[in-house]
A and B are shown apart, each in its own frame.
Chain A
Amino acid sequence: MRRSRFPFFVTMAVLFFFYLPIIILIVNSFNASRFESGWQGFSLMWYKRLFHEPEIWRAAKNSLLIAASATAVSLVIGTTAAIALHRFARSRLQRFHFGLVYTPLVVPEILMGISLLMLFVTAGVELGLFTIFLAHVTFCISFVAMTVLARLQDFDESIVEAAQDLGAGWWATTRRVLLPMLMPGLIAGGLLAFTLSIDDFVITFFVAGPGSTTLPIRVYSMIKYGSPPLINALSTLLLVLTFTAVAASQRLSRSRR
């Protein structure tokens, strides 16, 4: 029987729509042309220019700083929330808690941005890196909690009991059993939080203050007032960075098994 060609075409079409823009972007980052008006020869000039743009690097530094700290803090809070949600799953209070943790995942970003901005202004907090950090922690917690909770749910509770049974107190159980077993969930949740934080635009745009530009905001203003080819080069670099990080983390979690 001849297999239908239809699935093949659909697959190709999907891949095409997904990846063509990225490919064009990568190719263009090596284009010598100043405007995106056709191929004018291979060049690394945009990459060279990139290294002479202190504004970009300052923004990148801000972004990394915020992403790293927001990831660390949301990992701690999100994981404790997940453990509480899992352990007391049947109490009514925890169902309410679950709703609270879940809501930021579905609330429109613009709404969150506005409400956070109003909060900060009302509270008299000066807008800047700190407010961005707080905003990012707010939504990262939910993603971490949901990822870790999924891991906890297919977790044999008697393993924790076994640790206690063998003499492990609270801390020993956490360090020797709970954390190692949750590690894949923690890595996944942390990566998710990190990527969400580093490319968040909408919320950051609202709560950023003068002098606290992050990379996405910088990129946005560059598109408006600057040179698109520079962005191509920057995006390509980010892409390489992301792929390396994901590949490394997958390798890490595989070697743990």
Chain B
Amino acid sequence: MSEFLEFRDVSKRFGTIQAVDSVSLGIKKGEFFSLLGPSGCGKTTMLRLAAGFEHPDAGRVILDGQDITDLPPNKRKVNTIFQSYALFPHLTVWENIAFGLRVAKRTKRDIETEVEAMLRLIRMGDQAHKKPDQLSGGQKQRVAIARALINKPQLLLLDEPLAALDLKLRQRMLIELDMIHDQVGITFLYVTHDQGEAMSLSDRIAVMDSGRIEQVGSPAEIYETPRTSFVAAFIGDTNFLEGEVTGLVESEYCQVKIADIPGLICFNDKSMKPGNPVYLSIRPEKIHISRDRPEESPLRNIVPAVVEDMIYLGSTTKYWVRTHGLRVQVLRQHFRFFLDEKPIRWNDDVWIWWHGDDGFMLDRYRAVDEHLVALPPRKVGEPEDNNEKS
């Protein structure tokens, strides 16, 4: 299937800031696509380039085979849901929704039937004559959605649409957005800094940082096989382990020496050779922890450790253990917390182990990305900088 919306080598600079740095990206028809990244990463600029509010310094924007780079916003079959909703304060809900049709000079009867249909879709028929400042945040959000959808856009742009809502409402709107996407079947380009939103809604995600795309993939690909330390640390929690390849095991695995632990098995999808330095990312929940030494197995890495910190989180417990001078984060799912075994406590000697496939080699590592990982708690009296790994 060919690309529906395409950014070809697009760049945009504001003053001294390179907001978007020669980005190429294709989005398929009907897809729910998210641009995910921290504030200032260029994701909103990408959206504004698609909407036509910004003109790229270089590169083209293609929609459905047509070059729309030079089209003004009002000539594009693209509609936007703004972060601030941007409802017209002087118009009623009804008139807000009807705006696009009025501008398009549609007949009175058309406008009436379509607005009523939209009001039913967002279940706000009884609020039609209120002004925006009489609505709650969730209602404003729904009006903004209806107002954008009534023009039957080919592409709907959503700029952090849930950022202004409280947690419960956000979860409800998340489900509603997903339902609306299924119902109308148009392409969604969703901009967010919230990995949870992006993961639960998207077909595919592009993770952005400093005006560049770090990785594009399905939520599972992004989470399970992060290519860079930025992606690994921005989405979910992780451990970064620096090591060196010391030998090859069969064709697919290699031995890695991390700190002074030799012979750790790791999946070698990057075709590393002995002597190559590697950076591994291992998700905390992939590491197992127990008081008893687990059974040996060819692809299992087993290391003794000491518990330094722990936080009980209800369904899970997070441990920070120290082994060979490394501090490793482990997340353990509980089944029956009090009955399973004698609970693990501070300063207990434990075993941690993980499968060779769960340590993932990164293409690119930057020390600053360590700061994106949730910092472990500090012990009382411990100096500030002790836990920083960089």
Do residues B103 and A166 form an inter-chain contact, with CB atoms below 8 A?
yes
Known: A180-B90, A181-B89, A181-B90. A165 touches B103 (CB 8 A): no
B162 interfacial by beta-carbon distance below 8 Å: no
Please name all residues of chain B whose beta carbon is closer than 8 Å to the beta carbon of A161 when the two chains form the complex.
Answer: 51, 53, 73, 80, 82, 86
Interface size class of chain B, counting residues whose CB lies under 8 Å from the partner chain: 20 to 34
Is B100 close to A, CB under 8 A? yes
Say whether B72 faces chain A, with CB atoms less than 8 Å apart: yes
Shortest B151–chain A CB gap in Å is: 6
Pick the residue among B82, B99, B103 that contacts A158 (CB under 8 A).
B82
Main secondary structure, interface of A, reads: helix
Judging by beta carbons under 8 Å apart, are A167 and B103 in contact? yes
Given contacts A156-B84, A176-B99, contact A164 B73 (CB under 8 A): yes
Q: How far is the CA of A163 from the CA of B100 in the complex (A)?
A: 8
Q: In the complex, what residues of A have CB within 8 A of residue B51's CB?
A: 161, 165
B276 contacts chain A at the CB level, 8 A cutoff = no
Q: Which of A162, A177, A181 contacts B80 (CB 8 A)?
A: A162
In the complex, the answer to whether A167 meets B86 with C-beta atoms within 8 Å is no
Interface status of A159 (Cβ within 8 A of chain B): yes
- Per-residue CB contact flags for chain B residues 121-164 toward chain A (1 = under 8 Å, else 0) read 00000000001000000000000000110010000000000000
Q: Which residues of A contact B39 (CB under 8 A)?
A: none
In the complex, chain A residues 76-91 whose Cβ is within 8 Å of any chain B Cβ: none
Shortest CB distance A252–B (Å): 14
A162 with B53: CB separation less than 8 A: no
Indicate if B223 sits at the interface (CB-CB under 8 A).
no
What 1/0 mask marks residues of chain A from 40 to 67 whose CB sits below 8 Å from any chain B CB?
Answer: 0000000000000000000000000000
Q: A201 to chain B: closest CB distance in Å?
A: 38
Interface on A for B, CB 8 Å cutoff? 156, 158-159, 161-169, 172, 176-177, 180-181, 183, 256-257
Q: List 11 A-B contacts (CB under 8 A).
A: A156-B86, A161-B86, A162-B86, A166-B74, A166-B99, A166-B103, A166-B147, A166-B148, A168-B74, A169-B74, A176-B99
B residues adjacent to A (C-beta < 8 A)? 51-53, 72-74, 78-80, 82-84, 86-90, 99-100, 102-104, 131, 147-148, 151
Knowing that A162-B82, A162-B147, A167-B104 touch, tell me 12 more A-B residue pairs with CB under 8 angstroms: A159-B87, A159-B89, A161-B51, A161-B53, A161-B80, A162-B88, A165-B51, A165-B74, A166-B99, A166-B148, A167-B103, A181-B89
